[in-house]
Amino acid sequence: MTTSTAPTHAPPPAVWAVLMLPFGALTGFVSVGLTFMATKHGLSITDGALLNGANVLSQWLKWLWAPLVDVTLTPRRWHVLATVCTGLGVLAMSLIPLGPATLGLLLVVIALTSLVNSLVGMAVEASVAATVAPAQVGRASAWLQAGNLGGAGLGGGLGLMLLEVLPAHWMAGAVMAVVMLACCGALYWVPPIERHGAPPAHEGAWAHVRWVVGDLWATLRSRGGALAALLFMLPVGTGAAASVLTQAAVAAHWGAGAGEVALMQGTLAGVITAGGCFIGGWWCQRRAPRGVYMIISLALAAVASGMALAPATVATYVVASCVYNLGVGIAYAGFTAVTREAIGRGAGATKYSLLASISNFPIWWLGLLLGWVADERGAAAMLHTEALLGALGVGVFALAAWRWRAKG
C-alpha cells in the first residue's frame, strides 16, 4: 500500500452530500416517520423515544468497529456493502407492525440496521480525511453534514408521507431502500484512497491495527484532540429535542399534526438544516470551529426555551422549528470542522468515529431523558431541560479550556 504526504485529489464537495444521504435517511425514517406513527399505534412518548434511542445506540459505540474500515477492504466497498444492508434493514423494520407487542422486535431491528449504517458514515469520513486539504475543511464539513441532515429530512419527510399514504408500510420501506441504493452512484467521483502513514500491505493486519491504535492515541494526546473529546462529551449542540418534537402527542401541544411534523421535522427541516450546514461551514472557514460550536450551542438553548415560553400555537411550532433546525445545521457543521481539525489524516474512520461516538452519547441519553420529561412534565418542561443542560455544558467547557490555558 502506498502512502503520500499530500492529500489525494478530492472529488467535487457535493459528492460528500450524496454519499452521506443513506446515513442520514435512516435516522430520519426512524426519528420522524416511525416515531410519529408510534403514539398513533398505542405506544407512549417514552416508547417512541426508545425507537430513536435504539438508532443512536450504535452511533456512540461505533468506535469499537470503526478500525474495520481503516484496516480491511476499501472505503468504496464498505460504502456499497453497508448501504445495501441498510436498505434491507429499513425494509425489514417497515414490515413489522407498530404496537406494544412488537416493540422489542422493532428495537432490535433498528439497532442492528443502525450498526450497519454506521459503516456508511465511516466510509465517507475516511474518504474525506484522506482527500480534503486543511484549507477546505469548512467547505467539506458543510457538504458532508448537508447530506447527513438533508438525508434525515428526506428520510423523515418522505418516509412519514409514504407511511401515511401508501396502503402498506412495507412499500414505504421499499421506496426508501431504492433511494438509498441510488446514492452509491456518487462513488464514481471518489478516487482510490491512500492511507497516509499506513504500513505496507505485506506486513499484515496486525501491523495495520498497531498503526490505527498509535495514530488514535497520538490524536487524543494532542491539545486539539483532547479539547474536542471534552466538548463532545457535554450535552451541547445536540439537537436532541428534535426527535421528541416529532411525536404526535408532543406536537399536539402546539396543535400540530402529521402535515406540520412531516414538513417541519422532515422535508423542510432537511432543507433548512442543510442551509445551516453551509452557514456553519462558511463560519468555520473564518473563525475557530470550537468557538463557533459553543456559540451556536448557546443559541440553540435560547431557541428551545423561547419555544417553550411562546404561545402554544401551530405558528410557534413552525417558526421555532425552522430556527431550531437552522441552528442544528450550523452546530453539525461546526462539529465536523472541529473533528476534522483535530484528527488530521491517517486512520480517518477510526479517529472520526471515536469523536463522533463521544458526541452521540449525550444525544442518546439526552433524547431518552427529554422523552421521559415530556411524558411526565409536558413539552415545555422538556424544552427548558434541554436549554438548561446545554447552557451548563458550555459553561463547563469554557471553564475547563480556560484552566487548561492558564496551566500552559
* Per-residue model confidence as pLDDT tens digits over 31-58: 888 988 887 888 888 888 889 889 888 7
By residue count, the chain amounts to 408
pLDDT at 221 over 90: no
Contact 87, 178 (CB under 8 A): yes
Q: What is the pLDDT of residues 163-178, one digit of tens each?
A: 989 999 999 999 999 9
Q: How confident is the model at residue 131 (pLDDT cuts 50, 70, 90)?
A: confident
How high is the mean pLDDT of the chain?
Answer: 85
Give dist(CA 264, CA 242) in Å, integer: 10
pLDDT at 202 over 50: no
Residues 216-228 have a mean pLDDT of: 75
Residue 113 confidence (pLDDT): 97
Q: How confident is the model at residue 403 (pLDDT cuts 50, 70, 90)?
A: confident
Residues 283-299 have a mean pLDDT of: 91
Ranges of each domain in the chain: 14-195+203-406
Residue 408 confidence (pLDDT): 58
Q: Which region among 26-30, 54-58, 222-226 has the lowest average model confidence (pLDDT)?
A: 222-226
Per-residue cell: 263: 414538513
- For 14-195+203-406, CATH number? 1.20.1250.20
Q: How confident is the model at residue 235 (pLDDT cuts 50, 70, 90)?
A: very high
Q: Which region among 140-144, 305-309, 324-328 has the lowest average model confidence (pLDDT)?
A: 140-144
Amino acid at 57: L
Residue 384 confidence (pLDDT): 97
Contact 30, 243 (CB under 8 A): no
Give dist(CA 69, CA 106) in Å, integer: 27
Contact 37, 90 (CB under 8 A): no
